[in-house]
């Protein structure tokens, strides 16, 4: 599975949220201000289709797009890649980083301990 650019991820986030959408719907649900041009989003969606992330149903010249890759699947792959690239493949290094850098509170640390104990 290919990686996504930030712009592609933004479009995928909208599609995951909506389930299916026309380009105008994607633009309407984007947080960016000002809204990106129709042609820009249309191009990004076509790139996502070529990468295998998005499928479509044609209604004449109009296309309704939907995610082919589920958010959870992409999240798992992205997290695994980040752990490999930035934390030497170690979940313990990730946890250590989170505790140090995110200034986790006692409640969050206790919740993490319980998760670890359940595993």
Where does the pLDDT of residue 91 fall: very low under 50, low under 70, confident under 90, or very high at 90 and above? confident
Which comes out higher in pLDDT, residue 46 or 118? 46
- Report the chain's mean pLDDT, rounded to a whole number: 92
Contact 41, 78 (CB under 8 A): no
When computed from its CA atoms, the radius of gyration of the chain, rounded to whole angstroms, is 18
CATH 1.10.10.10 intervals, the chain = 6-67
* 32 pLDDT more than 90: no
The reported pLDDT for the residue numbered 56 is 97
Contact 63, 56 (CB under 8 A): yes
**6-67: CATH number:** 1.10.10.10
Torsions phi, psi for 29 (to 5 deg) = -95, 5
Tell me the C-alpha to C-alpha distance, in Å, between residue 19 and each of 7, 65, 70.
18, 9, 10
pTM of the complete model: 0.80
Q: What is the mean pLDDT of residues 19-45?
A: 95
Q: What is the DSSP string of 38-69?
A: HHHHHHHHHHHHHTTSEEEEEETTEEEEEESS
């Amino acid at each position: 599975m290919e990686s996504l650019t930030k712009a592609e991820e933004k479009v995928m986030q909208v599609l995951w949220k909506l389930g299916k959408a026309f380009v105008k719907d994607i633009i309407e649900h984007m947080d960016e201000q000002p809204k990106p041009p129709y042609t820009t989003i249309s191009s990004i969606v076509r790139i996502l289709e070529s990468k295998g992330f998005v499928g479509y149903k044609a209604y004449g010249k109009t296309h309704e797009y939907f995610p082919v890759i589920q958010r959870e699947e992409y999240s798992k792959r992205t997290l695994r890649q980040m752990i490999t690239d930035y934390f030497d493949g170690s979940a313990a290094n990730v946890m250590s980083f989170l505790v140090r850098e995110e200034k986790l509170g006692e409640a969050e640390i206790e919740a993490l301990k319980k998760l670890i104990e359940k595993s």
